[in-house]
Amino acid sequence: MYALVDGNNFYVSCERVFRPSLQGRAVVVLSNNDGCAIARSNEAKELGIKMGAPWFQIKHLEDEAGLVALSANFTLYGDMSDRMMSLAAGLGPTQEVYSIDESFIGLDGVRGDLTERARKIRARINQWVGLPCGIGIAPTKTLAKLANHIAKTAERKPGSYPPDLAQVCNLAALPTSDLDAVLAATDVGEVWGVGPRIGKQLKAAGIHSVLDLRQLSASTVRANWSVVLERTVRELQGQPCIGLDDAPSAKQQIACTRSFGQAVTDELPLIEAVSEFASRAAFKLRKQSSLASEVLVFVRTSPFRDTPQYNRSIVVPLVRPTANTSELTAAAVQGLQHIYKPGFQFAKAGVMLLDLIPNNQHQAELVFNEPGVGVCSEGRERLMSAVDMINERFGRSTVHVASTGAERSVKEWAMKQERRTPAYTTSWSQVAVARA
């Protein structure tokens, strides 16, 4: 048995915890540089705002409908996610944090009424952290994901499903006839793993509901579509095919890319930006205990501006794999200097760390008459560990490489975040203050 705990309109809910005045109002959270809507309250959805809607297209709703738009505050959302996940873990013995707002919980061996247990955990999350969530329970992860969708839909749209499925939906507890009715009322496109293209093909073949898909034979699905969709059908039929991933596998690539708040033309701001991106990527690299063998750097102009276009990238191989910020940053800057051309208005740049290997694998070469060359430097590893500890405790970029230009307060390449709320939970200087 599995449960999926999923925060409702997560980014918006995090903002509402510290700004109760946003309750009942149409709210959207915007992407980097305040570009488009990446989270919407139910009230915003009722205004017809679609996920990914560009801000300039919906900005008029500020005056016409009282829409509130906020810049993304990922520091706040990440911390609130950690708090929610720690409480969700009390639902069962095993947990897989699937995304910032979703967590699968393994329920094997848990006794008693699972529905009631889930309701208590949901109430605890809401009371202790202030975040509303939906919980779906089922024998497989695909069904649990579907049950979570049903729980949220039944809460948001009363009458679409039986009322006792709102907030917490336990498909395993439903009689067969009721389960078939619920699946028949759910569009096939809501199934985890059925994308728009496959969904269109299924509907063209007369498969419109989840029940229609569930009743197909596995051999038919494999012959007409794919083994992946066959696995989905088997999961819908109650046969577990996707296990719980307690420890996420290490990434094969690590990237840090950003669009600039305004066009950048000079080389120095680009060096600062690329240095910052390389530093952040290096931190992520060490977090997963890996080393990088190559560094990719790219810059590009905006295809939406009527200006000369330029898009170049370069891969810089390293002498030996490393996770050292200084070495990775130096390689990134070297690559940038090779591909930079003046006279262009650059809109985006990024750094990718490639060909990753575990940090317990060491590559070295024999070099005569140079003691220490080719030997893993424990001193540098300790230095990077100390830097990470300082930055985690006192804030990112407290210790940084000089080429990031962190001492400059105004940076041409910085993102637009004019509507960002304070980091209420991670910065003492930004903690909310209640006044009498």
Shared-domain flag, residues 90 and 231: yes
CA distance 222 to 75: 43
| Any domain includes 272 | yes
Residue 32 forms part of a structural domain: yes
- In this predicted structure, the answer to whether residue 341 has a pLDDT above a threshold of 70 is yes
Residue 42 structural domain = 10-72
Same domain for 201 and 159, yes or no, is yes
Look up the CATH number of the domain holding residue 56.
3.40.1170.60
Distance between CA 195 and CA 191 in Å, rounded? 8
Mean pLDDT confidence for 341-369: 82
Residue 374: band (very low, low, confident or very high) from pLDDT cuts 50, 70, 90: very low
Show which of 186, 207, 236 is a domain's final residue: 236
* DSSP per position, 29-83: EE-GGG-BEEEE-HHHHHTTPPTT-BHHHHTTHHHHH--EEEE--HHHHHHHHHH
Asked whether the predicted pLDDT for residue 353 surpasses 80, the reply is yes
Between the alpha carbon of residue 1 and those of residues 141, 153, 157, 183, 239, the distances in Å are 8, 22, 27, 18, 11
pLDDT in tens, 256-301: 998 888 889 999 999 999 999 999 999 999 999 999 999 999 999 9
pLDDT at 378: 67
Paired with 28 in beta bridges are 40, 69
Q: How far apart are CA 334 and CA 329, in angstroms?
A: 8
**419 or 170: whose pLDDT is higher?**
170
* pLDDT given at position 373: 47
Residue 428 counted as domain residue? no
Q: Quote the number of domains for the chain.
A: 3
| The two three-digit tokens of residue 127, written as one number | 């009371």
Same domain, 314 and 165: no
Cα distance between residue 428 and residue 5, in whole Å: 30
229 with 153, same domain: the answer is yes
Count of C-beta atoms within a 10 Å radius of residue 197: 8
Question: Cβ of 266: how many Cβ atoms within 10 Å?
Answer: 11
- pLDDT: is 411 or 19 the higher one? 19
- 134 and 218 in a single domain? The answer is yes
Provide mean pLDDT across the span 220-237: 92
Output the pLDDT for position 244.
79
Phi then psi for 321, rounded to 5 degrees?
Answer: -55, 140
| Residues 32, 143 share a domain | no
Q: What pLDDT does 375 receive?
A: 46
pLDDT at 305 over 60: yes
Reference 135, options 127, 145, 181; nearest CA is 145
Q: Are residues 104 and 218 in the same domain?
A: yes
Mind giving me the DSSP string for 181-196?
Answer: HHHHTSBGGGSTT--H
Residues with Cβ within 8 Å of residue 375, at least 6 apart in sequence: 364
Q: Are residues 279 and 341 in the same domain?
A: yes
CA 31 – CA 11 distance, rounded (Å): 11
| Backbone φ/ψ region at 377: left (φ over 0), alpha (ψ -120 to 50), beta | beta
Q: Is residue 423 part of a domain?
A: no
DSSP at 91:
G
Q: How far apart are CA 397 and CA 279, in angstroms?
A: 9
CATH for 90: 3.30.70.270
Residue 434 in any domain: the answer is no
Q: Determine the average pLDDT of the residues in 140-145.
A: 95
**Alpha carbon of 18 to those of 5, 23, 100, 372, 390: distances in Å?**
22, 11, 19, 54, 28
Structural domain contains residue 293: yes
What DSSP character marks residue 409? S
Same domain membership, residue 99 and residue 162: yes
Residue 401 has pLDDT above 80, yes or no: yes
> For 55-99, what is each residue's pLDDT tens digit?
999 999 999 999 999 999 998 999 999 999 999 999 999 999 999
The pLDDT of 310-318, averaged and rounded, is 94
pLDDT at 133: 95
Mean pLDDT, range 302-312, rounded to an integer: 90
